[in-house]
Structure 1
Amino acid sequence: MARSDERKLDFIIDEMIDAVSNSKDEIFSIGEDSRKEFEKLRNLLSETKATVQRVIKEGDDLEQKVRFSRIRLSKVSQHFDQYNENQIREIYDQTHKLQTELTMKREKERNLREKRDDLERRLINLERTVARAESLVGRISVVLNYLSDDFKQVGDLLQEAHEKQEFGLRIIEAQEEERRRLSREMHDGPAQMLANILLRSELIDRTFRERSPEEALEEIKDMRKMVRSSLYEVRRIIYDLRPMALDDLGLIPTMKKYLANMSEYNKIDIEFTTHGKERRFNSKYEVALFRLVQESVQNAIKHAEASSIQVKVEITESAVLVVIKDDGKGFDTKHKKDHSFGLVGMKERVDMLEGQLKITSKVGKGTTIFIQVPLNE
């Protein structure tokens, strides 16, 4: 690489570092502003809830007074001749005044409830904004690290500018893809469940006050299931990051334990069989094969709604063959679904190992996945 080309490339990298650094500061500022707004809204929500409770109590007291005033008015109507004109007017005016106050109080209560619900929705959106800002700042920090340190060090080892750029970008893309996958799973799983739990808690409060404790108890039972499911999703995501048993026990025992847990939790039949001599492989093979089976089984459970899954692993001297078969609803392999990140990731993993991936499926006939990976250790 010519000296002038190196200077040009370094200048471009420096410009990229400045642009990314400025973007990081702007995103951080957005996150901090959103966090401050979140705290203000949370305090306002707390005050609004207290006001709602106070207005409800005042409305209930007024309703009691209106009830007594109506009883008194009824007595006056029955014994009209026992009261003078001023007394009658006073009773009618008092009853009308109380009814007007009650109507206004209930209208105020309705407006406050709407304000409270709107604040809760805004809080949820702000919380997501803060989380996204924090995630973006973390990702940009990774990019900055590679641009300012690792990327420049790689340049000393590479002879061509094209190789230098390709190497750095591939590292960044691999990390960013993993972060995108984790972000999607957190958003679609625990984040959605927690938002639903927050809304369900409000429903329980209404049910308890406006209906009966028994109905509120049923709602609590349903919410407990949601909390349990959310906890499972968090644990699953943690397990997805790196199953520790894979390093300690190896591929087959870890796969067996994982499938048994999935079978027990999802209440479906998962049959796991192995052929050939069990042994340890290079870490890249064990991790890749485990992820491929994991993604296939999760797709069969979540998307295919299978009731039975068969997983077979055959180990030979030169290759590993894996077959995952389910009795789910299947799909048309010729029709590519939007955002089918799982299948794309599986193909990429198999390609990295110089293996073969074949998927056969028909609508209503289940799906079978064949994976063959050569052991080029």
Structure 2
Amino acid sequence: MADNPMVEKSLDAIIQEMVDHVSNSKDEVFTISEKSRKEYENLKEELEDLKIQIDAYIEQGDDLDKKSRVARQRLSQMSEQFNEYSETEIRNMYEETHQLQMNLSMAREKEKQLRERRDDIERRLRDIDETIDKAEKLGGKISVVLNYLNEDFREVSEALQDAKQKQEFGLQIIEAQEEERRRLSREIHDGPAQMLANVLLRSDLVERTFKERSVKEGITEMRSVKKMVRSSLYEVRRIIYDLRPMALDDLGIVPTLRKYLATVSDYHELDIRFQSFGKERRLESQYEVAIFRLVQEAVQNAVKHAEADRIDVKVELTWQTIMIIVKDDGKGFDMEGKRKGSFGLIGMHERVDMLSGDLDIDSGIGKGTSVTIKLPISEEK
């Protein structure tokens, strides 16, 4: 299946655009909240000042009210005793009483206006307080959404990338299976099949030799045929061993690894050193197969790609875990660059994950490679 980088780019662009819009919305909500807070503080200060003014006007009004009552009483007395006061005194008293009533009326009106302003500010403060509360809650929700976009959507993108990688891995497995079939076909054709065809031809030659020549020459030809059969049998066994070593079912993991590594060492003329720690015992088939394939993959990587001169393989078996270390002195590789395209490493990770284990690969250009695998053993066979 062809890759579609435009789809990945579009998805990342959409996610980034959503993040930008939500971030801008969060900033706008924060700005509204801060403006509301500032207005709230200003109105609160004005309210406190209004309360002081209202108290002052109440006190002033009460004082004017007392003075106005006294003045009205005095004016009433002067009216009753009209002959005892001059016209000027009566007029002055009347003007004083009128002025007190005017001042009282103005004070009460001012108090009323201040009370209305106070009530209006208190209503606005309640509304602003609700706005601030809603803005804070909305800001919190936006933060959750933003975190979701920044983290979970990124994980979705990574999951899609991982799914794509696994799909490629699956296709690679199919391709590897077909390549393995082609390899086996070639090996069987060039090895055992060719040898068996030669055996058939040589058997005809043996028959003619016995008939046309001497028994001695016939026996010599028989020995040659026997040697060819032995070589053919060796090739068949080697092919079977590569597919699945029978020793794994018969002897267990440690003897099989020892024999396998000795064979690889002889064939490739490499210094491969194997050490096992702990009591050797049989494990469940799933563990033995997984361990063998993991070591096989790590060793084959070192042989094919690392150009190593020496490979150290250590296996430590306890009652609860098995630890495997495969270390080579090869040329190593760039971890970041290799991680994205190596289906061999992906396959190792997949196999280790299926057994709930841990896989750690440490490498660097010119520093060799170290593969450490730790698998929990849930049951002993």
Name the TM-score, length of structure 1 as normaliser.
0.41
- Looking at CA atoms only, which structure, 1 or 2, has the larger radius of gyration? 2
